[in-house]
Structure 1
């Protein structure tokens, strides 16, 4: 007779008591202990269904993992965070991602469904929860919450507390069609930079130079603020992108590895940008430290920089312009100049060439043709207008 494995039950046997059929079965729990359960019914089939259901519930509530179907979703979510924190400690995940996920759990997941038993976490309940977040908080928050909940459910499934991940079968979250990223046209670039140049507050916050630097490189704002003078090879016109900035709870602003391996890259700087940086270094008298320092010479908080950009665009035709708009603008410039999708991905530090291609890029690439394309996009050089081309914003 084959020995029962952990969590397995054997052949169902029957007897009759008080005129009703009784089904009996042996099962072995996750501690290796054999047990016998029995259940009665009006028929043998009904008794069998009852005893099998009793065995499954008993095994689920006493699984070899830390959690069972009767544990709370909150307990599972917090355990998943601890598991994720171990990945962060090993350098496999970003600490800023941990802060982001923890915030989503504390603000959205626990208040709404944290009190549910894990066994009550059905696909229907998950779908209703995510759609309520979509309606009340918007697409970005709902998408983040779905990612977190899927991670939690996947963890609980591996612990034996869930038979499957209910988030996988929940309905898709659709963003509004008008959320498509918008790029600046060349004329809009010149008007926007002129607006920054004319603003005393923008000048105090270094926004005109920072905007030009991002337009020349396509860097993320955290990457741009993390660039140090030692990262620039002025002799060869190269920029070594090797870090970004994060704000972590309890630690403040810290250096971190870029978002992905593809984000560690070497870029060729357009001539006009290199000239701007040489002039800036002479004006600041700096040969070390960040090229966009705070008042004490340290790193600037990207949240404060983002707030300064928001104040600069408030009440202007450029209310829609965000720091990420510059990256979209760079991609558009390169696409219009005939750069390949791979070259654009290398410039921006994207891990994927496109949404339809799951191709990861880990090489450090230098493309002189990219710099030539950006050279032609010097925002401070006016060009003759072509009939039917861009019009000045009203």
Structure 2
């Protein structure tokens, strides 16, 4: 029985063909097996403005493109290695180290944009000035956040060249700080009084929504009320809330075990992963009685779920955290909370913890922050009046 075509090795290409497409221009193409094991067709034309009599220039361009697609091993990294190839190696290492698929997708997207700025740059050409220019161009075209992501990947990628002896120091150290053009707005905080009103209105409001239903009917039909109660009472992240299963609730001890999240993986869809954003994210949360009452009522008429989660989609699959955010944005202005997000409830809980004179460590443990400073700097409310300071000064400084 005749054998088929032998498989290409990863990083190898098949026979190159040249085809004249007229006016001295040629098309060179071949099969190439990428790092992911997939065989793809790669092709290149004669460079513009060149007279390519036999197609040699087109083939040279194709071979250069193939070389760019190959990911070198550590021993092959030298001054001629493309920076884009180093970025691929670095991302592969992050994947091997268990970095989350969401983070990797974010980095890959940023690298895709970055390659348009420095895709052909070689290690020996990657000085601080060129890297800084590329990062500043990223900020100009795609914003400060993506520029920071690109800078982070470049730092790790070029460190591989340092370790291989291809450069003396990492040029990313010379790149200027990336400043945002506008101050980050962050999630709007919600006051205790607003939370009290929301917990009532989300179930009882007879105010009309845009389609003629009452707000309470909309929230019931979209299954918003129960998740909002859970947000207010726990300060969970959206991804954590959508991953919470009935088996994670300890009714006797009134605890919720937080140990998973729902994320969207490129090419796969929504998945529930046994992981949290930080190590501190895996935690046991005490549940207030109003949350326990909500869960008890919901358990009497649970939504069908393929994964056993408490808050599934209407079809019983995992619920998309982003879709939940869109549903809340449609109705939040009707509740007098036009700028709030699900993250606002998380921030509000932190502020309530602060107001109750509980420590920042308590807040960090409850919210699952890896660093107490994050809770203090980003979550505890700021810019409020503190009359107790004036009272203290009166007691201390005014002579009797």
TM-score (norm 2): 0.66
Distance, in Å, in 2 between the alignment partners of 1:191 and 1:112 is 51
Describe the shift of the 1:125–1:300 C-alpha distance in structure 2 as closer, same or farther (beyond 3 A).
Answer: same
Which region of structure 1 is more displaced relative to structure 2, 264-273 or 127-136? 127-136
- What RMSD, in angstroms, separates the aligned Cα atoms of the two structures? 2.7
**Does the Cα contact within 8 Å between 1:65 and 1:160 map onto a contact in 2?**
no
Whether 1:70 and 2:70 are equivalent positions in the alignment is no
Label 1:356 to 1:237 Cα distance change in 2 as closer, same or farther (>3 A): closer
SS of residue matched to 2:228:
helix
Q: Which residue of 1 aligns with 2:241?
A: 224
Quick one: structure 1 residues 113 and 274, their matched pair in 2 at CA, closer, same or farther if it must change by over 3 Å? same
Shift of 1:155: 2.3
Q: Flag the 1:338–1:64 CA change in 2: closer, same or farther, 3 A.
A: closer
Q: Please, which of 159, 162, 167 is the counterpart of residue 172 of structure 2?
A: 167
Cα–Cα, structure 1 residues 66 and 188, in superposed 2: closer, same or farther, change >3 Å? Answer: farther
For residue 354 of structure 1, the aligned residue among 373, 378, 382 is 373
The answer on 1:85 being equivalent to 2:104 is: no
Alignment partner of 1:329 is 2:348: yes
Give the Cα–Cα distance (whole angstroms) in 2 for the partners of residues 228 and 72 of structure 1.
46
CA-CA distance at 1:164 after TM superposition: 1.5
How is 1:37-76 mapped onto 2 (pairs within 5 angstroms)? 65-76=75-86
- Asked if the contact 1:199–1:312 (Cα under 8 Å) also holds between the matched residues in 2, the reply is no
Partner of 1:261: 279
Match of 1:98 among 97, 104, 116: 104
1:214-273 CA distance string (max 9 Å, x none): 111111100000001111011121111111111112222222211122111101100111
Q: Which has the larger Rg? A: 1
1:289–1:297 contact (8 Å) kept in structure 2:
no
Which residue does the alignment assign to 1:111?
A: 116
Superposed displacement of residue 328, structure 1: 0.8
Deviation (angstroms), 1:313: 3.6
Compared CA separation, residues 285 and 96, structure 1 to 2 (3 A): closer
The residue matched to 2:103 in structure 1 has which SS? helix
Matches within 5 A, 1:148-159: 148-159=153-164
Q: How many pairs align?
A: 291
Instruction: Name 2:299's counterpart in structure 1.
Output: 281
Displacement of 1:193: 5.3
- The one-character-per-residue Cα deviations of 1:127-160 (angstroms, maximum 9, x if unpaired) are 2222232233333222222222222222232233
SS of the residue 1:245 aligns to: strand
Taking structure 1 as reference, are residues 145 and 315 closer, same or farther at Cα in structure 2, changes over 3 Å only? farther
- Structure 2 Cα separation of the partners of residues 138 and 337 of structure 1: 38
Deviation string, structure 1 residues 306-358 (Cα, Å, up to 9, x no partner)? 2222333468853421221221111111111111111111101111111499x
Unaligned runs of 5+ in 2: 1-72, 204-214, 377-386, 388-400
Confirm or deny: 8 A CA contact 1:65 1:161 kept in the other structure: no
Matches within 5 A, 1:155-304: 155-175=160-180, 176-190=182-196, 196-197=202-203, 198=215, 200-256=217-273, 257-284=275-302, 289-304=308-323
TM norm structure 1: 0.67
Higher relative contact order (CA 8 A, sep 6+): 1
1:104–1:145 contact (8 Å) kept in structure 2: yes
- Offset at residue 201 of structure 1 (A): 4.1
Q: Secondary structure at the match of 1:272?
A: helix
Cα contact 1:202–1:308 (8 A) shared by 2: no
Paired position in structure 2 for 1:366: none
Unaligned runs of 5+ in 1: 1-62, 358-387, 389-394
CA contact (8 A) 1:242 1:265 kept: yes
